[in-house]
Structure 1
Amino acid sequence: MSPPSDHSAGDNKSGPRARSCWAVTRSVWFAMFMREAIGRTMTDRMGWFWMIAEPALLLLVMISIRSFIRGDNLIVNAPFIPWMIVGMMGFFLVREGMTQGLGAINAIKALFAYRQVHPIDGVLMRNVLDGLIRTVIFLLFMVGGLLLGTDYRPDNGFQAIGGWLSLWLFGMGLGLVTSVIGTLVPEVGKIIRLLSMPLLILSGVIMPLNHLPHYLLEYLMLNPIVHGLEYIRHGFFEGYQVVHGTSLIYFWGWILSALALGLLMHVRFKERLKSQ
């Protein structure tokens, strides 16, 4: 058989080119994002309701308690209810990032038949979607406050947005870590879910930490969520006195460490996560 002619070789070169790795990744992320979005918003008719009702019900409980504790007298240069709303929404952003990572890999097991899909893709897209949903809910709370005569638009918009994005990235880092641990050791997932309520109290979400004794405060300030919430609160209320020892550098150290650890764990255990 004679070798292929130059003409036929030229025809092969002019055929469709293979897509780049980045183009394939974008397509995978878009498909998984749409899959997750439809599943979260369309499958459960009450999904949107509970996303808004959870913080609203907790807020109503706290407002009821406020009449007994006189919460407005505990916070300097910040109204109690907006202060608490900002803290709750920021905390839920971190908490959802951490807990949503637990089931993210198992939810896309069937998609591992496609070699382009990796375990980390499901975790990232679930976290991105949850961040967008939480942002919309936060904006709805702000609009609702304006309609009720309570204006808590941020005094420093750039700091408020930076604080919100920082909390979101921290939730993503925790989600990357918990997604690996929760898949390889399912029992750990139950413990992580149980931590949400103690963290709500220990992070200064519903009560200010400034009035606690110093020997307790120095231990509570090891919790990085406290630093993130205080930073975003200061962005909303410019005269607000943050808890002593608040450090954005410390908080970002935790963010980068969580992201790096999560990425390394996904690289190290990728094959085990697929076959688990």
Structure 2
Amino acid sequence: MPACTAARSLEIHGLPGRAGGLLDRIMAATDNDMSSVPYGGARGRNLRRVKLARSSLDIQRDVLFAIFLRELKSRFSGYVLGNVWLILEPLMMMVLFITLFGLRGRGEFGFVEPPVFILAAFLPFKMLWGSTMKQNMTSRGAALSVLNFRQARLFDIFLARTLVEGGVAVIVGIVLMIGLAWLGVNPLPRDPLSMLGYAAILWVFAASAGILFCVVSSFSREIEKLINLINLPLLFLSAVFFPMTAVPEPARTWMAYNPLVHPLELIREAWFPLYQSPVASLSYFAWWTVGAMTLALASYRLQWRRMLAS
């Protein structure tokens, strides 16, 4: 049997009881670029030994997949209330918003139902920005056990956590939209492709900021606490609970310097047919995203050894 055919015949059957076991198996399979594996008939008869050629891309894919499953298990196993909280938190914010503003809120923000307004702004801010940034910022603590394998890198943990948070945000958004539709509220965006594009840029910006903050916090642990404290006032400074059309000058101009205002306003424009933001700028936020990504990748490249040693 040719080596390429043998490479395609390799399969990992089943999932072990612990994510660490799956990580061990995949890492063992990728331990060498040229490894020897058995194949043959049932019950091990007529086994042969062949050389399995694996490219760097194959190894990277398996490592990332293993860490991704590990992050999923550590995030959702054993914490039932924490999983339910993913849905309850935005629901509670919707109820609070309706209670505080009521009919007055619907009159002031007449272009949209209050629950959909919260869904369109709070969910991207909380999950795409807050959770993704925080998970990447705290990745050094989760790297100790994974980095015992020589194929794994800290950057693999960044990628896996970013993918997990993005997937969780999509699932929570779909569940909430189905719930709103069941209650008779139309949650569908006017331009879903543009809305998803703006959300994806916010997601990349959050991942880049998290990597950058992880590098900075390696110099001082207090940086993480400071960033967590700043995240709370950002709820109001980023216009999560109100549209920028309701902000008078000159506060509107000053708030527009906050890069997080722009993706939220762009998402509202793509979601609500009658809403036109007075400050939203895709180019402004795109430059912030490119700058954050450049700084994050450059600082990680220069400081990754120090990050693991600290």
TM-score (norm. length: structure 1)? 0.89
Cα drift, residue 115 of structure 1: 2.1
Distance in 2 separating the partners of 1:19 and 1:43: 36
Give yes or no for the alignment of 1:171 onto 2:171: no
Structure 1 distance, partners of 2:271, 2:258, is 21
- Give the Cα–Cα distance (whole angstroms) in 1 for the partners of residues 56 and 78 of structure 2: 32
Total equivalences in the alignment:
261
For the residues of structure 2 that align with 1:195 and 1:55, how far apart are their CA atoms?
Answer: 20
- In the TM superposition, residue 64 of structure 1 has moved relative to its aligned partner by 1.0
RMSD: 1.7
- The equivalent of 1:272 in structure 2 is 306
What is the deviation of 1:76? 5.1
Aligned residue for 2:225?
A: 190
Larger displacement relative to structure 2 (223-232 or 107-116): 107-116
Higher relative contact order (CA 8 A, sep 6+): 1
Which residue in 1 is equivalent to 2:19?
none
| Aligned counterpart in structure 2 of residue 249 of structure 1, from 276, 279, 283 | 283
Stretches of structure 1 that go unaligned for 5 or more consecutive residues are 1-13
Q: Which residue of 1 aligns with 2:121?
A: 87
Q: Identify the range of structure 1 (16-25 vs 264-273) with the bigger mean alpha-carbon deviation.
A: 16-25
Q: 2: distance between equivalents of 1:98 and 1:231? A: 20
1:67, 1:132 → 2: CA distance?
32
Aligned AA (2:193) = F
* SS state at 1:101 partner: helix
Q: CA deviation at 1:15?
A: 6.5
Match of 1:3 in 2: none
Deviates more, 1:30-39 or 1:154-163: 154-163
Write the letter of the residue equivalent to 1:78. V
Of 143, 146, 162, 2:178 maps to: 143
* Partner AA of 1:40 in structure 2: R
Which one of the candidate residues 134, 144, 152 is aligned to 1:109? 144
The one-character-per-residue Cα deviations of 1:107-144 (angstroms, maximum 9, x if unpaired) are: 12122222221111112211110110011001111000
CA offset at residue 82 of structure 1?
0.9
Whether contact under 8 Å (1:77, 1:241) holds in the other structure is: no
CA distance in 2, matches of 1:83, 1:16: 58
Secondary structure of the equivalent of 1:213?
coil
Residues 243-269 of structure 1, C-alpha deviation per residue, up to 9 Å, x if partnerless? Answer: x12100111111111111111111111
Distance across 2 between alignment mates of 1:57 and 1:80 = 13
Query: What SS does the corresponding residue of 1:16 show, helix, strand or coil?
Result: strand
Partner of 2:91: 56
Q: CA deviation at 1:208?
A: 2.1
Aligned residues with identical type, % of pairs: 28
Is the aligned partner of 1:213 residue 2:251? no
Q: Take 1:61 and 1:245, find their aligned partners in 2: how far apart are those partners?
A: 27
Is contact 1:105–1:119 with CA below 8 Å preserved after alignment?
yes
Q: Which amino acid aligns with 2:109?
A: I
The match for 1:230 is: 265
The residue type equivalent to 1:87 in the other structure is A
Higher mean C-alpha displacement, 180-189 vs 32-41: 180-189
Question: Contact 1:156–1:236 (CA<8 Å) still a contact in 2?
Answer: yes
CA distance in 2, matches of 1:130, 1:29: 15
**Whole-Å separation in 2 of the counterparts to 1:17 and 1:167:** 41
TM-score (ref. length: structure 2): 0.80
Moved more, 14-23 or 185-194: 14-23
Residue aligning to 1:262: 296
CA distance in 2, matches of 1:179, 1:24: 25
CA distance in 2, matches of 1:267, 1:19: 26
Give the Cα–Cα distance (whole angstroms) in 2 for the partners of residues 212 and 157 of structure 1: 26
Aligned partners of 1:112 and 1:274 also within 8 Å = no
Distance 1:260 1:25 in 2: 22
**Does residue 40 of structure 1 match 2:75?**
yes
For residues 148-190 of structure 1, the C-alpha deviation after alignment (integer angstroms, 9 at most, x for no partner) is 0001201112111112212211111111112222233211000
Q: Which runs of 5+ in 2 are unaligned?
A: 1-48
Q: Matched residues in 1 for 2:119 and 2:171: separation? A: 14
Offset of residue 43 of structure 1: 3.0
CA contact (8 A) 1:97 1:174 kept: no
